[in-house]
Structure 1
Amino acid sequence: MSEGVDARLTRAQERYEQAVFGGDAKHLDEAERDLTALDADAALARGRLLHARFLGSGSEDAAELPLFERAAQLYRELGDARGEGESLFWVGTVHQVIRQDQATADPAFARARELATEAGDELTLSYVLRHLCFGEQAAGRVDAARELLTESTRLRRNLSFTPGVAANLIGLADLAASGGDRDAARQLLDEAAELAAGSGAYGVGQWVEEARDELSLA
């Protein structure tokens, strides 16, 4: 979403007036493209809001997946690899997190990873790697899971995405504890708590305390 909504709508209005009153319709395709991009941006944003509601309530809204699928389709039509990759990440997340269907999530995550890498979208890539980690961990492939989450964390540190780093450290602590390294797990949770507090990520701070309890590290 690199350009403002107002700019796109204003340009569409100008193209309309050029065509109707000025007899110059050669820019109508450009205006249509702007509006398609707006539709894609709105679908992606609305889908994310519904996912946030799911995280709070635990109840899936049936509109969430179609919104992400529509966004992915529209970005694909526009040739927007960054937007398509982000949308496909969310498609995968619906299947993995909400529907507990890793097999269906995997192709969406794989394509999202390709597109985010192609577009240089390190933030989306960090999310994809995080969720690929969850799949590897669930399958018992702990080393692969740790490698994915470590790379996701590196990307997030480089982006100064501090709440995201804190969230990832919780996952790394879980992996450390499952491997018997409780001291490392405790240190990771301590750092996660510090980063969460320093960045105002109070929800992540709550996750840290829940992880301490679950791992008996309180």
Structure 2
Amino acid sequence: MSETVYIKTDKNIEVSKRMVLIGDVADVYCNDKKMENDIKHICLIILEEVGVNKIKKKRVCLSFMDIVKAVAKKYPDADVNNLGENDFIVDYILEKKHSKFLQGLLIAFVAAFTFVGSMYAIMAYNNDVSTIEIFEKVYEIFGADNAQQVKLLEIMYAVGLALGIIIFYNHFAGVRLSGEPTPIEVEMDKYEKDVDDTLIDRKSKTEQKGKKA
């Protein structure tokens, strides 16, 4: 009697070792716990070494059929069901430790670069739309000469701009304002999915050309 095995894979999995087991890239469930444990420890692929010629990452596209074939070698009668992706990517990344000084230097550089760039963008925008002239017109309309002397509108504008940026990016001083992902995290997730889809499509096209040849 064949045993049913359920396997679920994500589209992108990171590993830090060359010998990739099924349990490293997928969730496995089976009523027979011994069989489940055995399947988790089946070798799926042995990746090429990284770190040579300064290459710190190895990316490989695999198919669920690769998992089925690996399981079938040990359990020919197993009924393998896919609950995840049909094709997925395994990233073998060589862990590289940075000194705290270097990390701090990189953070300081990125922070300074972002601050200067943002400041320039805001100043250029305000100059394009003549923000100062608009404030002067508002002061004239309401006859608020005293408010103009203390630059009340400018202060409110600056505070509102800062609050708007903080609320929009849902992040301030290392603290997340809510449990929702930030806009940058959403865009990065979209970008990573697009990259994964492109790599998978390229692999499929390459395999089809190979079969035709």
Looking at both structures, which has the greater relative contact order when contacts are Cα pairs under 8 Å and sequence separation is at least 6? 2
Greater radius of gyration (CA): 2
TM-score by length of 1: 0.22
User: As a proportion of its length, which structure holds more helix?
Assistant: 1
User: As a proportion of its length, which structure holds more strand?
Assistant: 2
